[in-house]
Amino acid sequence: MKVNDLLFLDRCCDLARLGGAAVSPNPRVGAVLVYQGRIIGEGFHQQAGGAHAEVECVRSVQQEDRPLIPKATLYVSLEPCCFHGRTPACTSLIQEQGIKEVVIGQIDQTAEVSGKGISILTSAGVNVRSYPAHKGCQQVARERQVFATEKRPFVQLKYAQSADGFLAPLENTTYWISSPQSRILTHRWRSRSGAILVGAKTVIQDNPQLNSRLYPGPDPLRIVVDPKGQCSGKELVFQEQSSNAPTLWLRPDAAIESTADQLEIIDLSKRLPSNEYWGKGLLKFLFAILHQRELHQLTVEGGAAILRLFLEAGQWDEILRFTNPQKYFGAGVEAPSLTRLSGTQPDGQHIRGAVTAPEVQKIGGDILEVFYPRS
């Protein structure tokens, strides 16, 4: 392990994070060219169908430094692609530029790559080093890896709770728990997510728009899970003026007619048996839809039943929990219990539970905790 390798891979991750939802369905990737400890070029993937990080990196090298490219080391957060899709293979670019040393953070788990990029480079005489345990590279590649290996989007659960563990007070009213700063951060996450999902009860009670209006960026695809057909179709989430993104409405029939161009009603009665409108059967069906649409990330924002559905099925990858330490409800809608998920099921199978939060931050007046599944 070389200290400089880790340093420059960290820089690759910083660059990769600049790529937002516009890169989907491609992964976020950053690349750096280094000659004798000096960065002579860097770049990141900015938009699907556009130049990859390696191409942007080589393009950025100043004219006086271009003779140094064959002598430089290329650092990239994810294994270079080795097939011609909408853009040429990056392995070909590396060989054309005469680069003899490449350091990568993660092996791309997609079937078209999955080590083939490394094999092509090493066969061409390129010295390749990889750091699969590099946390930053794991982080920026996580959506790609989950999508490739589990055939579903990376699932992020997000919710806010009172200091005594409630999602909402007992009275049936819309109630802001989190601070204005936390809400802006939530909208930033939305702008980087492919899709956002809520249940019918949240739509009826809160009438959310589910857009990213508090932060510049694209709105996510909006998904409403309504297995009992409780929504009227007049709520804001179904209206075109509330978002530039479409809405998927999963309901038990297609009886409601709508003139909204961006509203797509999915009739569950034609897709699933009635006993699978809720539970693992519904999630499997939902994931198949999102995988087909090449959506790599799904943010689930509630309510309580929807959150528990994903938790109890073990179909989640990250939990973002805001707690307002100043608000106490005493009673109301209980937040999901994460400690309950750490035991075993009656058949002895381990429940995919939450580990100790690897990071705790203060956002405005709130405490943000990030949880990951127990491996």
0.85 exceeded by pTM: yes
CA distances from 104 to 37, 88, 95, 169, 262 (A): 17, 19, 16, 49, 40
pLDDT for 143-170, tens place per residue?
999 999 999 999 999 999 999 999 988 8
Q: How far is the C-alpha of 266 from the C-alpha of 264, rounded, in Å? A: 6
> Percentage of the chain with pLDDT > 90?
62
| Cα Rg, the chain, nearest whole Å | 23
Give residue 210's pLDDT band: very low, low, confident or very high (50, 70, 90).
Answer: very high
Q: What is the mean pLDDT of the chain?
A: 88
Tell me which residues are annotated as active site. Answer: 54
Residue identified by tokens 């069906």 is 285
3-class secondary-structure state, position 52: coil
Tell me which of 47-61, 63-77, 165-179, 279-293 is least confident.
165-179
3-class secondary-structure state, position 313: helix
